[in-house]
Chain A
């Protein structure tokens, strides 16, 4: 019976489990895995192949690979012999063209692909398409340079066949170095802990979260308390107004702030008219940039805080307030001794919830200051996103970015667990009343 009820429960959960495992659990696991790799644009995500290139051989020479071996590997030659002809025939090259090659160039060796191609181009039966000509040329090539091998053994075998005299450990070294894919490493964390840049971003993040959070809580409190005392009409007008930032789509919201603060925008024009310093407030100075970043995010959070606080205030027995007024309490005393104690839990909740969302939010900053001016308003989540996915120079460092994201995950999960304790999670878990 018990298993049956378990089955029913799991069946009801299963759609949610599928989606949550796919889009929460797996990404977290993958992030954790990537954090320990050197994955980047140049290594690719899905794995690499084995390629011996000229630059690689130059580097290997410095790292102890005997010069003669490296030089031998770096040579390419094109030999017109029966074997090559046969291969080209199998590859589908025009037989008339091949016959001509054999007749005119039979037995010759070229070290320069360009020269060989030029010779072939003079032949009467040359294919019209340059691609076909090049494909024919490739059949005569004796080289492993720049060939992509999909597996290690193929690469090893190719080198061994090409250069049977090479010692096994040298071949190992070459094969290992020729891998273009990613490898396991802990360098990401070492790098994060060793650069001063990291600590600057951590400081930025702490500052951002702390100040935005205070803004959210204080403005939210102020709004909730003042609208509580206002007549219903005015109160609802203000609460509707403050919900606008929360429901406005982010693209529009960000551009409205730009319009408000950029040159030619509202503040700029107003300041200019009043003779105050007018410049691009969002990007033109560090204090104004921070102010705007905090307001952009704080306005969204304040609406959330206000709703929570307001609904908590509605639970205060009105008689208690009347009684206090009869006793001659000032409004400040009322707030201090009746209202604020009532709001203790909502305030704690907003603080913890907003800390988590602010820690991992970067959309608003990305779309407004983009971490500028300089990198003064760059926070951890934004830097992680920029490192992993958004680089002007084109080299996306997935591994390093994932390491940064992983740290954020760990911080976030630890904080949530603390908060769950704080909010007495166990109380939320009533046992189901129907047991079969």
Chain B
């Protein structure tokens, strides 16, 4: 359809408004392997020296420790979000319980209300349960932050599963739990997968919570590590080095995004109703 119009003007305008993104990301890539003279943005030489931080801990400090921590951090969050959202989403979609309406409304309200503004209260809760300044504490808070979204998404996926499957299971005498685990859960696998991707990307980029809730802990996630590298007061400050570390940090996300683009698109728009 619509062959009678030329696409070039549109593409040109699109390129123009996308220019900041294109420039920023193009230079992110290029700068990590090139050198450029001072006062110019145009590179004049190829080098791999900005990547030396991968093998040389003196460049910016050990990068693999924080990488492992970030993987652990992300994986724990994904597991918690998946586990809790899949049960709660099922309950909200299929089960009869008191205050169902209230729960659903509450989750929608929470979903729209990021927790970061209540961080002092969060701090107190963590301190009370003895999890301030620990990885576990930050994981729990971050997972908690994602739950309303996760539950809402999972509820949406459960809603699309035909009732007949469940009816059949229940008539065969299985408990609701067995029905959920054996029959329903496999049906929402695409939803679980999309949610896992989303949670992984979100957790991987988290910066604020570790910084405030675990400022002096023994572990360091990559976002904090990257921020230290970007500090102009640090002895190893070098912008291209920073960009290399930044790219290294972002690569897993870009990879996930490139591979599973369609599934992610679904869930990024997933704040919609139903």
- Chain A interface residues toward B at CB < 8 A: 2, 5-6, 8-10, 12-13, 15-17, 19-20, 22-24, 26-31, 34, 45, 219, 222-223, 226-227, 229-231, 234, 238-252, 255-257, 259-260, 264, 266, 269-270, 295, 299, 303-304, 307-308, 311, 318, 321-322, 325, 331, 346, 349, 353, 356-357, 360-363, 381, 384-385, 388-389, 398, 401-402, 405, 408-409, 412-413, 415-417, 419-420, 423, 425, 428-436
Indicate if B272 sits at the interface (CB-CB under 8 A): yes
B144:A19 contact, CB within 8 angstroms: yes
Cα of A423 to Cα of B88 in the assembled complex, Å: 22
Select A425's contact among B18, B23, B105, B112, beta carbons within 8 Å.
B105
* Residue in A closest to B166 when the chains form the complex, CB atoms: A434
Cα of A361 to Cα of B117 in the assembled complex, Å: 8
Query: Which of B40, B151, B205 lies at the interface centre, i.e. has the most chain A CB atoms within 10 A of its CB?
Result: B205
A12:B125 contact, CB within 8 angstroms: no
A238:B14 contact, CB within 8 angstroms: yes
* Residue in A closest to B10 when the chains form the complex, CB atoms: A226
Could you give, for residues 174-185 of chain B, a 1 whenever the CB lies within 8 Å of some chain A CB and a 0 otherwise? Answer: 001100100000
Given contacts A15-B84, A27-B118, A248-B205, contact A412 B170 (CB under 8 A): no
Cα of A19 to Cα of B41 in the assembled complex, Å: 48
B7:A230 contact, CB within 8 angstroms: yes
Cα of A429 to Cα of B177 in the assembled complex, Å: 22
Given contacts A27-B121, A356-B113, A434-B94, contact A250 B205 (CB under 8 A): yes
A12:B227 contact, CB within 8 angstroms: no
Cα of A250 to Cα of B226 in the assembled complex, Å: 11
A244:B27 contact, CB within 8 angstroms: no
A384:B140 contact, CB within 8 angstroms: no
B20:A299 contact, CB within 8 angstroms: yes
Cα of A388 to Cα of B122 in the assembled complex, Å: 13
B166:A429 contact, CB within 8 angstroms: no
Indicate if B217 sits at the interface (CB-CB under 8 A): no
Q: Which residues of B contact A6 (CB under 8 A)?
A: 96-98
Q: Which residues of B contact A266 (CB under 8 A)?
A: 23-24, 27, 41
Determine the main DSSP class of A at the interface with B.
Answer: helix
B48-56, B59-67, B242-250 - the one binding chain A: B242-250
B110:A20 contact, CB within 8 angstroms: yes
* Residue in A closest to B9 when the chains form the complex, CB atoms: A226
Contacts of B207-250 to chain A: CB distance below 8 A: 207-208, 212, 222-223, 226-227, 230, 239, 242-243, 246, 249-250
Q: Which residues of A contact B274 (CB under 8 A)?
A: 428
Determine the main DSSP class of B at the interface with A.
Answer: helix
Interface size class of B (residues with CB under 8 A): 35 or more
A405:B40 contact, CB within 8 angstroms: no
Query: Which of B24, B129, B208, B254 lies at the interface centre, i.e. has the most chain A CB atoms within 10 A of its CB?
Result: B24
Q: Which residues of B contact A226 (CB under 8 A)?
A: 10, 13-14
Given contacts A30-B125, A416-B108, contact A381 B117 (CB under 8 A): yes
Indicate if B189 sits at the interface (CB-CB under 8 A): no
Write 8 A-B pairs (CB below 8 A) sorted by A numbering. Answer: A10-B97, A16-B85, A20-B110, A250-B207, A251-B223, A256-B246, A259-B243, A419-B112
A331:B5 contact, CB within 8 angstroms: yes
Q: Which residues of B contact A325 (CB under 8 A)?
A: 1-2, 4
A246:B23 contact, CB within 8 angstroms: no
Cα of A304 to Cα of B149 in the assembled complex, Å: 15
* Residue in B closest to A330 when the chains form the complex, CB atoms: B5
Q: In whole Å, how far is A190's beta carbon from the nearest beta carbon of chain B?
A: 20
Select A249's contact among B2, B147, B249, beta carbons within 8 Å.
B249
Q: Which residues of B contact A417 (CB under 8 A)?
A: 109
Select A248's contact among B17, B100, B117, B250, beta carbons within 8 Å.
B250
Contacts of B156-207 to chain A: CB distance below 8 A: 159, 163, 166-167, 170, 176-177, 180, 201, 204-207
Query: Which of A17, A24, A250, A429 lies at the interface centre, i.e. has the most chain B CB atoms within 10 A of its CB?
Result: A24
* Residue in A closest to B271 when the chains form the complex, CB atoms: A353
Q: Which residues of B contact A244 (CB under 8 A)?
A: 21, 25
